[in-house]
Amino acid sequence: VSHFDELDGRACRLGVILQNNLPYKIKSLAIRFSAYKSESIPYDSVTRSFSEIKPTDRQYRKLLFRNIECSAIHHIKVEDPGHCSMGKLDRFSAQSGDCIEHIKIEPSELVKISE
What values do phi and psi take at 102, rounded to 5?
Answer: -95, 5
* 19-46: pLDDT as tens digits: 999 999 999 988 899 999 998 989 999 9
pLDDT at 115: 61
Say whether 100 sits in a helix, a strand or coil: helix
Q: Where are the beta strands (DSSP E) in the chain?
A: 3-7, 11-19, 26-36, 42-53, 58-66, 75-79, 84-86, 113-114
Give pLDDT < 70 ranges for the chain. 1-6, 9, 91-95, 110-111, 113-115
pTM (predicted TM-score)? 0.83
pLDDT at 85: 86
pLDDT at 44: 94
Note the Cα 114 to chain centre separation in Å. Answer: 10
pLDDT at 4: 67
Tell me what percent of the residues of the chain surpass a pLDDT of 90.
38
| 56 in Cβ contact with 20 (< 8 Å) | yes
CA dihedral of 37, 42, 47, 48, whole degrees rounded to 10: 30
